[in-house]
Structure 1
Amino acid sequence: MTRFPRTLFRPLSGKLSGYAFSIALVGLATLIRQAADHILPPGFPFLTYFPAVIVTTFIAGRGPGALCGVLSLLSSWYFFIPPVNSFAVSWPVATALLFFAAVIVVDILLIDGLQQRQERLLESQRQLAAMADQQTLLFKELQHRVANNLASISSMLRLQRRQIERAPETAVAVLESADKRIELMGRVHRQLYDPAASGLPLPEQIESVVAQAKEVAEATHVTVFVNAVDAHLAIDRMMTLMLLITEVINNSIKHAFADGDSGEVRLQLERIAAGRLRLTIADNGRGLSSDPQAPVQRHRGLGTTIIRGFAAQLGGTVAIDGTQGVTTIVEFPEDAG
């Protein structure tokens, strides 16, 4: 638990109570000074008023402290500076009053300055404590997300190992594909957990991820159009969505336009109902063959498995239509705002 330094004592924050306390303390200081008048040597008219000003400033603040100082000066002048019961002025009297005024002004300014510095220090420590708690939370979340990503990579590698076992001659291509998937996953992870990009709206996050997917795949011949609503998603679900998007686009780049043909991919994220989103990614490429032994169909099996896994993590459903190009539709719930 974070421990803050003890604040300087100022329990009276209201103006009315502070000024009432100031007046009451001046009256008390006057009574005490009158009661002690017979035991004090001549002089000392301000003896009980100094602590009254200091205590008032500590407890009620600068304004009541200043009022206490003014009333103390007038009271000591009238009751205890000869000639008593008058406001007679002489050079010695003026000098004594100016000395008292200077001392109480310095006292008030010093106490008020200390209290303000203490308040700023407390506020800074509260902010640091909040930042430390937030960093701890983010670190735990980051650990959780990294563990999930490593689990996803492990699952993907197991799938690709089986592909190599079925067709050993594809080992190099499969490893290159795995390398690009892992590189892209790392880029997406850095983007989403970058504090500088944390406030970006979802459409801009998607456009950035799409650009990185094209860069990794070296797909300058493919144009991707993005039309997305600014939906609310927690960071872990946003990560899953981005990985799903990159996988679908990567499949289109690799297979729909495998020979370097120019093409288009259209991505749309829309809200179809309250708390329900639909992601549609469609390319105008060669589509899927109905022959299970055809090269395009066979190569897309792993990607489709990965896409279905990400859709399941989002709590959604996925449908893929390969008759005219390939259209992938994923419907999933939106997080509560």
Structure 2
Amino acid sequence: MQRSNARFVERLPLVLDRPAYAYGLTLLFSGAALLLRIAAEPLLPNGYPFVTFFPAVILSSFLFGIGPGIFAAIFCGLLSWYVFIAPFYSFVMNPAVAVAMLFYIGVVAVDIMLIHFMQRANFHLAVERERSRALAENRELLFHELQHRVSNNLQVVAAMLALQRRHVDHDVARKALDDASARLALVGRISRALYDPSGKGQDIRGFLTALSADVLEASGRTDIDVAVTAPHGLAIEPSVTVPLALIVAESVSNAIEHGLPDRPGKVAVMLEEVEGALALRIVDDGHGVAPDFQHDSSESLGLRIANALAAQLGGRFSLTPGANGGAVARLDLPARTAC
């Protein structure tokens, strides 16, 4: 309702391209003011010749601009002088009439000027709002194009690494190229999914669900059940979402590849918020890790990446044996990461 009223005010004065309508309606307002003053004559004390004409002048100025407003002021002033100021039905000038008319002229002049300046301010405000809207659309378009190009470039680099793999005979090198290609492709997909020029946080529940399904599809496994639980409506800062998504992808991939390489199983991705701090757990029911496993000293590139990303976010990453078997990858983040 407020927005609709604001748009109406910005369109004032009305019918600028058809001034005859504006002046015709001004005459109508003036006639209505005259009839209302005549009808109110028995109820009013002596004097008050202009009481019903002020609204007609204000309404004409507000709706149609300064020209019809001045016209209404002159016409209403003459009507009130002729009909309601003694000697009636004449334009006799005397000191009392002069004082009354000067009072009327001062009041309507102030009204018209205030309305005129208000409409000019509204006009400039509407122009600035339209300019801001155009700039916002351009920003969104440029941001979308930038995100699109970055994502495409990452996908191209991933494809080039995959092609280069065909010319490498060493198994370790081929595995490294495979991992690098997969990670670049994943970053490209994340970048595309996180497109949001407004800078608002990402709804993490839906995003993690889509990300986990993407990682599972990329693994080629159909016998793994991945479930995601997260607070409904929880949003994460854009600068945090990409590192968090990479850690989730690495942990889910690690659970599928090392924890469940040869049998069906389940992987649970659980995100909890406690007093603004975030706790992420990726739990699987696979082979698990040794009780004395030290993830900090592991040679796994994925674990080293996860540790580095956690440190970048000011958090801590760990990989420990599960209480009932399997493994638990845990990431603890400070309170500032939640929106």
TM-score bucket (shorter structure): 0.5 to 0.7
For 1:134 and 1:252, locate their aligned partners in 2 and report how far apart those are by CA, in whole Å. 38
Residue of structure 1 in register with 2:227 after alignment: 225
* Aligned equivalents of 1:67, 1:196: Cα separation in 2: 44
Distance in structure 2 (CA, Å) of the matches to 1:68 and 1:317: 74
Distance 1:214 1:62 in 2: 64
- CA distance in structure 2 between the aligned counterparts of 1:255 and 1:329, rounded to whole angstroms: 17
- C-alpha spacing 1:79/1:327, structure 2 compared with 1 (3 Å): closer
Q: Which amino acid aligns with 1:314?
A: L
For 1:242, the equivalent position in structure 2 comes to 245
Specify every segment of 5 or more residues in structure 2 that has no aligned partner in the other structure, as ranges. 1-9, 14-56, 91-115, 162-168
Aligned to 2:266: 264
Aligned residues: CA RMSD = 4.9
Distance 1:334 1:133 in 2: 30
User: What TM-score, normalized by structure 2, do the two folds share?
Assistant: 0.55
- Distance change >3 Å, CA 277–CA 78, structure 1 → 2: closer
Corresponding residue pairs, total: 239
Per the alignment, residue 312 of structure 1 pairs with 311
**Contact persistence 2:224–2:266 (CA under 8 A):** yes
Q: Secondary structure, in 3 states, of the residue corresponding to 1:220?
A: coil
- Residues 131/87 of structure 1: CA separation in 2 closer, same or farther (3 Å cut): farther
Instruction: Summarize the Cα distance change of 1:231–1:78 in structure 2 as closer, same or farther, 3 Å threshold.
Output: closer
Deviation at 1:64, TM superposition (A): 8.6
Does the aligned pair in 1 maintain the 2:199–2:238 contact within 8 Å?
no
Contact 1:231 1:334 in 2 (8 A): no
For 2:209 and 2:75, the matched residues in 1 are separated by: 72
Q: How many angstroms apart in 2 are the aligned matches of 1:318 and 1:277?
A: 12
CA contact (8 A) 2:147 2:192 kept: no
Counting only pairs closer than 5 Å after superposition, residues 171-320 of structure 1 correspond to structure 2 as 171-193=173-195, 201-229=203-231, 230-259=233-262, 261-272=263-274, 274-289=275-290, 301-320=300-319
SS across alignment from 2:256: helix
Aligned pairs for 1:78-117 (under 5 A) are 87=89
CA distance in 1, matches of 2:130, 2:269: 45
C-alpha displacement of 1:168:
4.0
Distance 2:199 2:257 in 1: 29
Q: Which position in structure 2 is the counterpart of 1:127?
A: 133
Measure, in 2, the Cα distance between the counterparts of 1:201 and 1:282.
22
Shift of 1:241: 0.4
Measured after TM superposition, the shift of residue 305 of structure 1 is 1.1
Matching of residues 36-185 of structure 1 within 5 Å:
61-62=62-63, 69-76=71-78, 87=89, 120-130=126-136, 168-185=170-187
Amino acid at match of 1:223: D
* Structure 2 contact 298–304 (Cα < 8 Å) conserved: no
SS in 2 for 1:268: strand
C-alpha contact 1:224 1:265 (8 A) present in aligned 2: yes
Q: CA deviation at 1:56?
A: 8.4
Q: Secondary structure at the match of 1:264?
A: strand
How far did residue 69 of structure 1 move? Answer: 3.7
Structure 2 vs 1, CA of residues 291 and 278 (structure 1 numbering), >3 Å: closer, same or farther?
closer
Preserved contact between residue 291 and residue 320 of structure 2 (Cα < 8 Å): no
Give the C-alpha shift of residue 196 in structure 1. 10
Describe the shift of the 1:67–1:178 C-alpha distance in structure 2 as closer, same or farther (beyond 3 A). Answer: closer
Q: State the secondary structure of the residue aligned to 1:213.
A: helix
Instruction: Call closer, same or farther: CA 1:206–1:288 in 2, change over 3 Å.
Output: same
* Separation of aligned partners in 1, 2:75 and 2:332: 78
Look up the SS of the partner of 1:61 in the other structure: helix
For 1:221 and 1:132, the matched residues in 2 are separated by 46
Contact 1:269/1:277, CA 8 A, preserved across alignment? yes
> 2:328: which partner in 1?
327
Question: 1:206 is aligned with what amino acid?
Answer: L
- 1:208–1:87: structure 2 CA closer, same or farther, 3 Å change rule? farther
The CA deviation at 1:245 is 0.4
Residue 30 of structure 1 corresponds to: none
Indicate if the aligned counterparts of 2:319 and 2:327 stay in contact, CA closer than 8 A: yes
The CA deviation at 1:202 is: 1.4
Paired amino acid for 1:288? V
Aligned amino acid, residue 305 of structure 2? I
Partner of 2:164: none
Between the aligned partners of 1:270 and 1:232, the Cα distance in structure 2 is 12
Q: Give unmatched runs, 5+ long, in structure 1.
A: 1-6, 11-54, 89-110, 158-166, 293-297
Letter in 2 for 1:249: V
Calculate percent identity across the aligned residue pairs: 24
Q: Provide the TM-score with structure 1 as the length reference.
A: 0.55
